[in-house]
Amino acid sequence: MTDQTKTELTDTNELIRQRLEKLDVLKQKASEQGKTAYPNTFKPTDYCADLQDKFADVDKATLEADAEAGNKTYAKVAGRVMLNRGSFIVISDMTGRIQLYVDRKGLPTETLELIKSLDLGDIVGASGYIGRSGKGDLYIHLEDFELLTKSLRPLPDKFHGLTDTEVKYRQRYLDLMVNEDTRKTFEIRAKVVSGIRAFLVGERFMEVETPMMHVIPGGASARPFVTHHNALDMELFLRIAPELYLKRLVVGGFDRVFEINRNFRNEGVSTRHNPEFTMIEFYQAYADYKDLMSLTERMLETLATDILGTTDVPYGDEVFSFKGPFKKITMFDAILEHNPTFTADNVNDREFLANFVKNELKEEVKPSFGLGKLQTIVFEETVETKLRQPTFITEYPAETSPLARRNDDNPHVTDRFEMFIGGRELANGFSELNDPIDQAERFRQQVAEKDAGDDEAMHYDADFIEALEYGLPPTAGQGIGIDRLVMLFANAPSIRDVILFPHMRHKG
């Protein structure tokens, strides 16, 4: 190690300086023995949590009797040192923690010296036989011990953990090391993703992958990230949704498809929004939006039961019931239900709603805003946050649903739903618009809105229109925000708590 490297790492930190000195000693000893201070030959055969589960019902006396009879159970583990109590060392691996018992009479002097020099955060390998302490804690009676990686920086305070929110997000690896709740959150996330995949595969959906760089941003109303392809000298957009590509696959004959996808939207950051996020989108031919509401109820109930063991999911001071069926109400009726002063007549009165949006909600009203747009604004501003238990809002206006099929009885609205839990949108689904002429006209309306200054309006996608002209079967499609679903299951207040590496403002 060069003096310059030492200086950079030390950074006047006495603890780091001491660890660097220990590393130098380790390197010197390893060199004398023809070894390395960073060995890569230790292969663990057991995990901490597996051992805890396996021996959960085996008491101290039984383990001691087995050992005396020559029936010792051996284990070989590796992990990070989290506590060092002299006679007992606590290590942590990806599954949990276990203690290592240091038998000072049975271990070589060299091993005891190595153990004495350990720092919290060091990564070690250990093997020995299983025992249980007088306090009832399972341990491994050490017979062999090896330092695999020297930690040069001290862990956060062991009594208070990592409490600085910004550090937790910027240095997630530290958060995962010391905060058990964080580890559980991301274990839940992994189970949610794998659970959704298993459920849909069980329903005969096929998992696919579609492009993440688009020539035209489409599939949702959002401001895209823009990039440039040098070799082709063309502008490209990071995907805001995979919808139009997935529907092309249904045109091609894949009747049930899904994609667990990363989307990118050039929007603000909040407790519910991250510019890069994960969704599940799935499409089913010969189905309508009502079929997908039923499927969603079954899927979420299954996920809650399998992952949490209950359909009653605590979140903050509330408990949300994932036991279907969920409440279903039209947007029109929801506006009336949560705005007692409104009547059916004035909710259908554009001038009344325009004045309400402008004067009461203090929102801009553009001349291009029709009745449907104004109804949607009123719903979003006065109703959404009041939808606590799982609720499907149906019959969204056609004006704000450019890809959804119009309702046969009321062409002003579409066969569309959004699902809300805890006042937050979780899912969006609808019977797909498969009339290419109607879809082309809706795209043209979106282009007009974009020309009028709406940065989130859609482009005209001629290639998608051509695909529809070959014939899209009657189809229903849906997207579910995985990040927001994990927030509910993990009782996490912010979307940043469920994204391993959320976007942060640059430190400079």
End-to-end CA distance of the chain: 28
Task: Provide φ and ψ at 172, rounded to 5°.
Answer: -60, -30
DSSP state of 414: B
Sheet (strand 424-431) strand order: 206-207, 256-264, 276-285, 475-481, 424-431, 416-421, 391-394, 327-330
| Cis-peptide, bond into residue 325, ω within 30° of zero | yes
**Rounded distance between C-alpha atoms, residue 5 and residue 90, angstroms:** 31
> Length of the chain, please?
508
Write out the two tokens for 456. Answer: 């989130």
Q: Which helix (H) or strand (E) holds 132?
A: strand 123-132
Sorted by sequence, the CB contacts under 8 Å of residue 72 that are 6+ apart come out as 66, 129, 130
CA distances from 164 to 180, 398, 402, 500 (A): 15, 46, 43, 16
- The C-alpha angle 221, 224, 228, rounded to 5 degrees, equals 150
Q: Are strands 213-214 and 226-229 parallel, antiparallel or unpaired?
A: unpaired
**Rounded distance between C-alpha atoms, residue 112 and residue 320, angstroms:** 53
**Rounded distance between C-alpha atoms, residue 73 and residue 293, angstroms:** 52
Binding-site residues for Mg(2+), in ranges, read 418, 425
Binding-site residues, in ranges, read 418, 425
